Amino acid sequence: MDIMKTDKIVIVGGGSAGWMTAATLIKAFPNKDISVIESKDVPTVGVGESTIGGIRTWTRYIGLDESTFFKQTDASLKLSIKFTDFYKKDGGSFHYPFGQADVINNRNPFFDWQLKKYFYPETPIEDFVRCLFPASALFENNKFSLNNSGDFDHFDAANDVAYHFDATKFGVWLRENYCIPNGVKHIIATVLETPNDQNGIKHLVLDNEDIVEADLFIDCTGFKSLLLDKALNEPFDSLSKMLPNNRAWATRIEYENKDIELEGFTNCTAIENGWCWNIPLWSRIGTGYVYSDKFVTPEEAKEEFKRYLMSDKMVIPRTKEQVDALEFKEITMRVGIHKRTFVKNVVAIGLSAGFIEPLESNGLFSVHEFLFNLIDILQRGEISQFDRDMYNVSTRDLFDQFSKFVALHYALSHRDDTEYWKDINTKEFKDEISNDPYTPNRTKAGAFYDIIGRYMEEWFHPYGMAGITYIATGMNLQMINDNRIANMTYRYKRDYLSEADAISEIWENKKAKWNKAAESSPSLKKFLEDTFYGKE
């Protein structure tokens, strides 16, 4: 097709994806004609209540006003993701915190902790995060601090924090407080027809008999994918072999004791046929069970979820009477991504483009990262096929890397207590994870090292550490063995035991300082009260 203008943009679908798209585009291009068509009859999915650190980059970009945002979206703060029983059944927990690790004074930036674990194998896995992240003293004790005094060293409360919020209320807040006031047009109607030709969507036919034309249509219609899938028939690449979870049960529970249940992290707990999330908002806890219907029926899964809610995996277990009184929502997930997400004059954002699964809170992450890529393309003013191709390559690469990262949470597990976990433990990830053309027959271990080997180089890197390092460490993958330490000692003529002891003493002093500062910090609940909500 010819060079395409992008002066008039129509977004089909509201919810988080639709209104995030509208907010981003009206910020970047205030002179473009931007509209959102939102049907009053389509409910939002509402599972994307947890975010990761990148959300703050996006909120700063649009200039989000937290003073109204928190109250109107039931928001709380998130410092980490906690994983419970992923390595083994009843195998304990580990954290994946936000921000950069504190490696000041380390002799071997990130490798030092592996040395400590090698020489002192009784060192608990949880010690890794406690040694390297000042915020661990906060999120492990339900505390929060802006770190104005600097007691938590390099912890940055402006960047090392994400949000928990009500996704439905979030979409409404963006619509009413940002998009419409900044010039986005809101059309309440249902799209009935999507006639198209060789150039893409010709126009939309609405149930109010209006005909809507645009230069660019953005599909934010969720799993339905009305434009990209239904109208343009763009092929969909399923990730079901790599990520088998395709269903979820979700519910909301009231606080029993908000002081201890309002935690500064998302808790993910592996159970029989998947995992459960706990997302503490200001007024309630959002919780759900992500599972595979290959191994359990929806009704059986609901009973497993109920047992979880009554178990000691909850901060405060609920009674059978409380659980039976809950309203449960069933969700069917389409796991995978369309081969291309920018086709002709249609771009898909959010669930309509693709979805991995809720683990690692990646849903809204892909929304704002795809949008930043889209801005890069649209700022040229007009669109060529090369622009589309560049967008498709960049977003697909981001999606593929994140999906592999999520898959490794399962591949690293040693659970074997159900057929679900046995299947994961015997699954060959060679085609799904490994892209190495020279070793096409790699099995689980080979595929794992194919991607994780690059990340593990970060143990020696002074500038940063990849997220897989936290997951691998929590899953008991250690990078030191007798042969390696002997070889390193001979080659570099260094006393690694003395180095490990020296840095361990430094860490103990740091942990003592961070824990003392946490003792005098307000609880997360009190901080939110004082800053946003006021006394209840």
Domain boundaries, the chain: 4-77+164-240+335-406, 99-160+428-516
pLDDT at 533 over 80: yes
* Residue from 27, 78, 88, 404 carrying the catalytic annotation: 78
Q: What is the pTM of this model?
A: 0.92
Average of pLDDT values for 376-401?
94
The pLDDT value given to residue 445? 40
The pLDDT value given to residue 448? 44
The pLDDT value given to residue 482? 87
The pLDDT value given to residue 472? 86
Q: Which residue in 147, 188, 155, 170 sits closest to 64, CA to CA?
A: 170
Average pLDDT, whole number, for the chain? 90
pLDDT at 45 over 60: no
Q: Is 526 a catalytic residue?
A: no
The edge-to-edge listing of strands for the beta sheet with 247-253 is 93-97, 80-84, 265-271, 274-280, 285-291, 247-253, 329-332
- Reading phi first (left if > 0) and then psi (alpha if -120 to 50, else beta), residue 150 is in left
Structure confidence at residue 491 as a pLDDT band (50, 70, 90): confident
pLDDT at 464 over 70: no
Q: What are phi and psi of 56, to 5 degrees?
A: -65, -30
pLDDT at 453 over 80: no
Count of beta carbons in the 10 Å neighbourhood of residue 422: 13
Average of pLDDT values for 64-89?
95
Average of pLDDT values for 44-49?
58
The span from the CA of 244 to the CA of 227, in Å, is 26
Token pair for residue 200?
């893409």
Residue of higher predicted confidence among 316 and 158:
316
- 3-state per-residue secondary structure call for 341-395: CEECCEEECHHHCEECCCHHHCHHHHHHHHHHHHHHHHCCCEECHHHHHHHHHHH
Q: Which residue in 295, 309, 423, 408 sits closest to 360, CA to CA?
A: 408
pLDDT at 462 over 70: no
Residue of higher predicted confidence among 53 and 77:
77
Please state which CATH class domain 4-77+164-240+335-406 belongs to. Answer: alpha beta
Contact 524, 76 (CB under 8 A): yes
- 3-state per-residue secondary structure call for 305-327: HHHHHCCCCCCCCCCHHHHHCCC
Structure confidence at residue 463 as a pLDDT band (50, 70, 90): very low
Average of pLDDT values for 336-364?
95
Secondary structure letter of residue 156 according to DSSP = -
Average of pLDDT values for 214-239?
97
Average of pLDDT values for 40-67?
81
Average of pLDDT values for 423-436?
67
- CB-based contacts of 158, cutoff 8 Å, min separation 6: 56
Average of pLDDT values for 123-133?
95
pLDDT at 430 over 90: no
Average of pLDDT values for 28-53?
83
The pLDDT value given to residue 484? 82
The pLDDT value given to residue 469? 82
Distances, alpha carbon 239 to alpha carbons 268, 337, 354, 408, 519, in Å: 21, 8, 10, 13, 45
DSSP characters for 240-273?
TTT----EEEEEEE--S-HHHH--SEEEEEEETT
Q: What is the pLDDT of residues 386-396, one digit of tens each?
A: 999 999 999 99
What whole-number percentage of the chain has pLDDT above 70?
91
Structure confidence at residue 75 as a pLDDT band (50, 70, 90): very high
Based on DSSP, count helices (H) and strands (E) in the chain, helices before strands: 19, 25
Residue of higher predicted confidence among 484 and 367:
367
pLDDT at 135 over 70: yes
Average of pLDDT values for 450-478?
63
